[in-house]
Amino acid sequence: MGCLVPLFIIALVTLCTLEASAATLEDWRSRTIYQVITDRFSRSDGSTTAPCDVVNGRYCGGSWKGITNKLDYIQGMNFDAIWISPVVEQLPQETIDGDAHMGYWAQDLYALNPKFGTADDLHELISEVHRRGMYLMLDIVVNHMAYAGPASAVDYRVFNPFNDAKYFHSYCPVNGNTNQTEVEVCWMGSSAVSLVDLRTEDRAVRDMWGNWISEMVSNYSIDGLRIDTAVNVEPDFFARFLRAAGVFATGETMFGDNSMVCRWADTIGSILNYPIYYTLMRAFGSTTGSLNDLITTIYTTRENCEDTTAFGTFSENHDVTRFTELTNDTAQAKNILAFTIMFDGIPIIYQGQEQHMAGKISPHTNRSPLWTTEFDTNAELYKHIATLVLARQHFLLAEDDYIKSASEVIYQDYHTMALRKGVNDKQVITVLNNDGEGTGDFEIDLLAHGLAFGTQVMEVLTCTNLTVSPVGVLKVPMGKGLPKIIYPSEYMRNSGLCGMGDPLPKPTATGTTSQPAAPTPTSSEPDDSGARSACTAQSSMLVLAIALSVLLASSGGFAYLLDT
């Protein structure tokens, strides 16, 4: 029998859903993300001398409260989003492969990792992030669960909710990345820690993932997702999963072949731009690096993928060697940071880049704790990043089409390249150079800049004024291997740069909830978003409306009914 639902009740439900809208790709395009490893960022006690056994991969004491206490440090670089490590409960054992401090060895999806703090601590962090107008991106893993032991010894009962072998693929090892079927259905890990591969192609597994992510996003007001090992999951898994999540997501696909990784980009909507990353490192990792591969990859990736302006652009993360290990040249570091923040996509800066930290993949010294730097806000690269992020925010606020425009290479020689991004009259020109800090002064002549004769422009990193010549040449002075960011002087007002007034108002973040089917958060959860407040108020109205409907229905008092 159908259920009779009054139209005005449906209207209230719809209104509540609209008020609690999720953060979409369009919302995230304007954001600049700071990546945090929860265990290695900041401790609750504020210590900057606490030891950390990085080599053996042990927990070191970073926490959600520690992040909350250092949000000023992050916002001091003008970031308006943070990406934090996975939050769910991990395998508890110490193993020869280390502890589960990174968060990628989950055992219970419905419990939090007590090493990072309490539910109240996590709510407090997210509430404070939203109060500051920032977004929070949560790292998650859907490919596998983890067990401390070899594949033959796995006790599936320890996993929640996937507590039976039927939810997992039979064991086979991933031996490389050339066989995509093997990558998707076989197990990663070691004899010490088995990464037990889920049957993500099965309806039951997909249902369980959908239920979990809708609750997680709703209960914690998550704004976006970073999906670990996305390339190890069949692409068609993600469409339904992301509908359940209801928020923007970007996926990890660590391969450099853009024709392959675009399969995940087109399904998820965004991936971390590894094809660009690898060629960026080759171009700027030494003073003899060639820019040709980077420029070629810019265009081939754009040809093979639907929308590269939705990708996450990065130059360091916890899975790759830090740039400082390739070269300690500060000018080179400034160039890759300028590329990361000014190029197409959503910029992501990894904790410690601002302190010029070093570290290799093995033995994971690229995950050293940030607190040993004492959170130095006078560090040269800290200030450099702050200026770049502020500049990007001004450029996209000054021109709506800037953020979706594709960068074009307008100049190239062996050591220098120039990119143009944005519409005519408000275009941004980024000039990069890999000569290093020991190089002398020289000039380059730009012709394909699209600026009118006589246009005055400003180089925003040095606050130097330049003018397009009467014959259309823009002469750009270069030196000491430093990058240049050029923008029409006319539109520098209210940028907060070079003494040009206070910055324009930035968009605020109110937190997000999941789709309507997601469970309603319990009353014990803090009200950390305007959307949640509006929905709560309308929910009270809904309760009254339902009570009224019962009385009216008993007396036949409805004039208009909808049979659903």
Which residues are CB-contacts of 148 (< 8 A; sequence separation ≥ 6)?
A: 91, 93, 95, 192, 193
Alpha helices for 363-520 (secondary structure H): 380-398
- Residues ≥6 apart with Cβ < 8 Å to 139: 83, 84, 85, 86, 103, 225, 226, 228
> What confidence tens digit (pLDDT) does each residue in 366-415 have?
999 999 999 999 999 999 999 999 999 999 999 999 999 999 999 999 99
| Other Cβ atoms within 10 Å of 100 Cβ, number | 26
Strand, coil or helix: 35? strand
Q: Which two tokens mark 240?
A: 């339904």
252 in catalytic set? yes
Active-site annotation holder among 80, 223, 252, 344: 252
Which element (helix H / strand E) includes 228? strand 224-228
* Nearest-angstrom CA–CA distance, 316 and 300: 22
Closest to 497 measured CA to CA, from 384, 334, 382: 384
**H or E segment to which residue 441 belongs:** none
The token pair that represents 50 in the structure block: 């606490």
**Three-state secondary structure readout of 530-553:** HHHHHHHHHHHHHHHHHHHHHHHH
Q: Which residues pair with 272 in a beta bridge?
A: 312
CATH superfamily of this structure's domain 408-491: Golgi alpha-mannosidase II (2.60.40.1180)
pTM to 2 decimal places: 0.88
pLDDT at 21: 59
Given 39, 99, 139, 228, the catalytic residue:
228
> Could you tell me which of 406, 250, 255 has the C-alpha nearest to residue 319?
255
Task: Copy the structure tokens of residue 46.
Answer: 């504020």
DSSP string, 173-222: B---SS-HHHHHHSBEE-SSSEEEEB-TTSHHHHHHHHHHHHHHHHHHT-
* Omega within 30 of 0 (cis) for the link into 363: yes
Model pLDDT, residue 427: 97
β partners of residue 419: 409, 430
C-alpha 57/C-alpha 187 separation (Å) is 21
Q: What is the pLDDT of residue 22?
A: 85
CA proximity to 339, closest of 291, 373, 371? 291
3-state helix, strand, coil in the chain (%, to 5): 35, 20, 45
Torsion of CA 332, 421, 314, 494, to 10 degrees: 90
* 144 labelled ligand-binding: yes
As a whole number of angstroms, the distance between CA 137 and CA 512 comes to 11
Residues 237 and 206: beta-carbon distance below 8 Å = yes
Tell whether 226 is in a known binding site. Answer: yes
**Residue 504: per-residue pLDDT:** 67
Taking the C-alpha atoms of residue 276 and residue 298, their distance in angstroms, rounded to an integer, is 7
Rg over alpha carbons for the chain, rounded to the nearest Å, is 25
Task: Report yes or no: 63 and 121 within 8 Å, Cβ to Cβ.
Answer: yes
Per the annotation, does 367 bind a ligand? yes
Contact 249, 278 (CB under 8 A): no
Could you state, in order of their start, the residue ranges of all structural domains in the chain?
Answer: 1-24+538-564, 25-137+200-402, 408-491
Q: What pLDDT does 509 receive? A: 56
Q: How far apart are CA 454 and CA 472, in angstroms?
A: 8
Question: Within a 10 A sphere around the Cβ of 376, how many other Cβ atoms?
Answer: 12
Distance CA 196, CA 155 (A): 11
Contact 186, 169 (CB under 8 A): yes
Ramachandran region, residue 499 (left: φ > 0; alpha: ψ -120 to 50; beta: rest): left
pLDDT score recorded for residue 533:
37
Residues 428 and 486: beta-carbon distance below 8 Å: yes
95 closest CA partner among 187, 175, 195, 171:
195
Going from the C-alpha of 234 to that of each of 199, 218, 375, 514, the distances in angstroms are: 10, 26, 40, 24
**pLDDT tens per residue across all 564 residues of the chain:** 444 344 333 334 433 433 345 899 999 999 999 999 999 999 999 999 999 999 999 999 999 999 999 999 999 999 999 999 999 999 999 999 999 999 999 999 999 999 999 999 999 999 999 999 999 999 999 999 999 999 999 999 999 999 999 999 999 999 987 899 999 999 999 999 999 999 999 999 999 999 999 999 999 999 999 999 999 999 999 999 999 999 999 999 999 999 999 999 999 999 999 999 999 999 999 999 999 999 999 999 999 999 999 999 999 999 999 999 999 999 999 999 999 999 999 999 999 999 999 999 999 999 999 999 999 999 999 999 999 999 999 999 999 999 999 999 999 999 999 999 999 899 999 999 999 999 999 999 999 999 999 999 999 999 999 999 999 999 999 999 999 999 999 999 999 999 998 886 765 555 543 333 333 333 333 333 333 333 434 444 444 444 444 343 444 443 322 332
Q: What angle do CA 488, 494, 499 make, to 5 degrees?
A: 85
Q: Which CATH class is domain 25-137+200-402?
A: alpha beta
Q: Does residue 256 have a known ligand-binding role?
A: yes
For 344: left if phi > 0, alpha if psi spans -120 to 50, otherwise beta; the answer is beta
Give the pair of three-digit tokens for residue 182: 């093997």
Residue 241 contacts by C-beta under 8 Å, 6 or more apart in sequence? 142, 206, 209, 210, 213
Rounding to the nearest 10 degrees, give the CA dihedral for residues 332, 337, 343, 348.
Answer: 140
Asked if 323 and 316 touch (Cβ cutoff 8 Å), the reply is yes
